[in-house]
């Protein structure tokens, strides 16, 4: 059980770091491409022309997007569950094992695997 928790913590950390790096690089690229919009606080105050601040609009969009994503995944999961006709997680596991091939735990890998050096070998060599 401890191995599962540490694996989940590692994957969560890696995914979070990837999301932060992606968001940061997107923000830097947007700032680089839009030189006239350098001020960070420009969209934080509502004006007569724009009655809603940029931050509140972004939070509202994030909320609706999250709601749609959760509902969509839940609906898709329920549809697959009902289409398979299973009634428990054990039955679902057995059905999935009968549909998809089992993954072996051997350390050797596939018999026809090639070395990475031969796959990515330069044409100059």
For the chain, give every domain's residue range. 1-40, 59-101
What is the CA angle 24-26-32, rounded to 5? 100
pLDDT band at 73 (very low <50, low <70, confident <90, very high): very high
pLDDT at position 67 is 93
pLDDT band at 38 (very low <50, low <70, confident <90, very high): very low
Spatial distance between the Cα atoms of 52 and 49, rounded to a whole number of angstroms: 9
Between residues 68 and 55, the one the model is more confident about: 68
State what percent of residues in the chain have pLDDT above 90.
Answer: 16
- The helix/strand/coil state of 50 is coil
Burial 104-123 (b: 16+ CB within 10 A, else e): eeeeeeeeeeeeeeeeeeee
């Amino acid at each position: 059980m401890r191995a599962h928790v540490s694996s989940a913590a590692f994957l969560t950390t890696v995914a979070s770091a990837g999301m932060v790096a992606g968001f940061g690089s997107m923000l830097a690229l947007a700032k680089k491409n839009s030189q006239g919009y350098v001020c960070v606080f420009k969209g934080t105050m509502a004006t007569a022309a724009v009655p809603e601040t940029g931050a509140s609009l972004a939070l509202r969009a994030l909320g609706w997007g999250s709601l749609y994503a959760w509902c969509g995944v839940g609906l898709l999961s329920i549809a697959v569950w009902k289409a398979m006709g299973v009634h428990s997680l054990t039955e679902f596991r057995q059905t999935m094992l009968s549909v998809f091939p089992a993954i072996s735990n051997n350390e050797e890998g596939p018999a026809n695997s090639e070395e990475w050096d031969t796959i990515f070998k330069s044409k100059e060599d």
